[in-house]
Amino acid sequence: MADEYIPVRLSHLLRHCSVGAIVRGPESLLAVPDIRKWGGPDDNPLEREIRYVDQVRSALNIERSLCRPPIAKELHGRKTGWIQALRFPAWMRCLTCGLLHCRPWKDEKRGGAICWGAGPAREENEPGECGGRLEQVSWVLVHEEGYLADVPWHDLAHAGARNRTGDSGECLRDWLEPYLSLIERLAGPPEIACRRCGSRGSLEFRYPHTAGTWQQPWLQEPLPETTEELAWVMEINDVRVHSPVTETALVIPPESRIRRGTVVDRLHGSSRQLRRIRGARNWRARNGIIRRLAGEYGCAPAKIEDALVEIDKGYPLYGQSVDAGDLRKSEYGALTDRIPDLRDDEDFVTRHHSPAWRKLRDRIAGGIARRAIDAVDRLVAVDRLKEIMVFKGFSRVGGAPLPPDITGESDWLPAVELYGEGVFFTLNEAVLARWEASSALHERADAFARRYHRSGLRDRPYDILVTPRLMLCHTLAHLLIRQLESGAGYPAASLKERLYCAGGSVPGDNGPLIDGTGEPMTKSPMAGILIYVAVADEEGSLGGLAELAEPERFLRLLTGALEAAEWCSLDPVCGEREGHGPGLLNGAACHACALAPETSCEHGNSLLDRTFVKGDGADIPAFLDCVSEFSECAPRRAADADA
User: Domain check: are 349 and 291 in the same one?
Assistant: no
pLDDT at 464: 77
- pLDDT for position 40: 74
As for how many domains the chain has, the answer is 3
> Considering 174, 201, 235, which residue would you say is the last residue of a domain?
235
**What is the rounded average pLDDT of the residues 15-28?**
90
Is residue 444 in some structural domain? yes
In sequence order, what DSSP letters do the residues of 506-523 get, joined into one string? -TT--SB-B-TTSPBPPS
Residue 85 falls within a domain, yes or no? no
3-state secondary structure of 526: strand
Sheet arrangement for strand 22-24:
22-24, 29-31, 86-87
Confidence class for position 435, pLDDT limits 50, 70, 90: very high
Q: Is residue 75 part of a domain?
A: no
In this prediction, what percent of the chain has a pLDDT beyond 90?
45
Q: Which of 462, 471, 438, 469 is nearest to 589 (CA)?
A: 471
- One domain, residues 308 and 334: no
pLDDT in tens, 121-157: 445 545 567 888 899 999 999 998 899 999 988 888 8
**Mean pLDDT in residue range 520-539:** 80
Write the DSSP string, 54-120.
HHHHHHTT--SEEEPPP--EEETTEEES-B--EE-SSEEEETTT-BEEESGGG-TTT-SSB--SEEE
Between helix 283-297 and helix 301-312 the angle, nearest 10°, is 110
Helix (H, G, I), strand (E, B) or coil at 604: coil
DSSP letter assigned to residue 49: B
Q: Structure pTM?
A: 0.84
pLDDT band at residue 110 using 50, 70 and 90 as cut-offs: low
For the sheet with 100-102, list strands across it: 100-102, 91-94, 134-136
Distance, CA of 289 to CA of 81 (rounded, Å): 35
pLDDT given at position 514 = 39
DSSP string, 285-327: HHHHHHHHHHHHHTS-HHHHHHHHHHHHTTTTTTT----TT-H
Among 19-33, 165-179, 282-296, 539-553, the minimum mean pLDDT is found in 165-179
For residues 184 and 275, state if they share a domain: no
In a domain, 73, yes or no: no
Separation CA 450–CA 469 (nearest Å): 16
Same domain, 294 and 378: no
**Across the strands, what pairs with 608?**
586
pLDDT tens figures, 280-289:
889 889 999 9
Q: In this structure, is residue 591 part of a structural domain?
A: yes
Q: Are residues 283 and 388 in the same domain?
A: no
Task: For residues 199 and 148, state if they share a domain.
Answer: yes
611: closest CA among 458, 437, 510, 476? 476
pLDDT band at 507 (very low <50, low <70, confident <90, very high): very low
Choice between 478 and 454, residue whose per-residue pLDDT is larger: 478
Structure confidence at residue 551 as a pLDDT band (50, 70, 90): very high
| Dist. CA 213–CA 225, nearest whole Å | 9
Q: Which domain holds residue 163?
A: 91-118+128-235
Tell me if 22 is assigned to some domain. no
Same domain, residue pair 422 and 302? no
373 burial level (CB within 10 Å; 0-12, 13-18, 19+): buried
Average confidence (pLDDT) over 110-127: 64
Better-predicted residue by pLDDT, 541 or 292: 292
Instruction: Please choose, from the candidates 212, 236, 235, 237, the residue with its C-alpha nearest in 3D space to the C-alpha of residue 225.
Output: 212
Does the structure show a pLDDT above 90 at 422?
Answer: yes
As a whole number, mean pLDDT of residues 432-445 equals 93
Instruction: Show the beta-strand stretches assigned E in 229-375.
Output: 231-235, 243-250, 349-352
Burial (CB < 10 A; 0-12, 13-18, 19+), residue 342, is middle
Q: Is the pLDDT of residue 462 over 80?
A: no
Q: What DSSP designation does 562 have? A: H
Across residues 550-562, what is the average pLDDT? 95
Give mean pLDDT, residues 343-360. 93
User: Who's near 578: CB < 8 A, 6+ residues apart?
Assistant: 447, 584, 587
Look at 437 and 72; give whichever has higher pLDDT.
437
Q: Is 358 or 80 the better-scoring residue by pLDDT?
A: 358
pLDDT digits (tens, 9 = 90+) for 367-417: 899 999 999 999 999 999 999 999 999 999 888 899 999 988 899 999 999
pLDDT tens figures, 573-609 = 998 888 888 889 999 999 999 999 988 998 889 999 9
Rounded to 10°, the helix 551-566/468-487 angle is 110
Identify which has the larger pLDDT, 303 or 514.
Answer: 303
Query: What's the rounded mean pLDDT across residues 311-332?
Result: 80
**pLDDT > 90? residue 443:** yes
Do 342 and 292 lie in a common domain? no
pLDDT of residue 520: 45
Q: Is the dihedral of CA 266, 268, 270, 273 positive or negative?
A: positive
Q: Which amino acid is at 38?
A: W
* One domain, residues 502 and 624: yes
Q: Could you give the CA distance from residue 530 to residue 617 in angstroms, rounded to a whole number?
A: 29
> Are residues 340 and 477 both part of a single domain?
yes
Query: Residues 238-252: what's their mean pLDDT?
Result: 92
Say whether pLDDT at 119 is over 60: yes
Name the least confident of 198-207, 337-346, 597-606. Answer: 198-207
Q: Is residue 19 part of a domain?
A: no
Query: At 219, is the pLDDT very low, low, confident or very high (cuts 50, 70, 90)?
Result: confident
Q: 339 vs 88, 240, 265, 335, 408, CA distance in Å?
A: 51, 44, 21, 9, 39
- Picking from 312, 339, 357, the residue at the C-terminal end of a domain is 312
Give the containing element (helix H, strand E) for 479: helix 468-487
What Å distances lie between residue 289 and 263, 279, 284, 285, 311, CA to CA?
Answer: 15, 10, 9, 6, 17
CA distances from 55 to 259, 268, 316 (A): 17, 16, 10
Q: Which of 282, 312, 342 is the last residue of a domain?
A: 312
**Angstrom distance (rounded) from CA 373 to CA 359:** 10
Does the structure show a pLDDT above 50 at 513?
Answer: no
Helix (H, G, I), strand (E, B) or coil at 501: strand
Are residues 205 and 303 part of one domain?
A: no
Any domain includes 177: yes
297 and 434 both lie in a single domain: no
Look at 528 and 278; give whichever has higher pLDDT: 528
Question: For position 3, what pLDDT does the model report?
Answer: 65
Lowest mean pLDDT among 277-281, 349-353, 508-512: 508-512
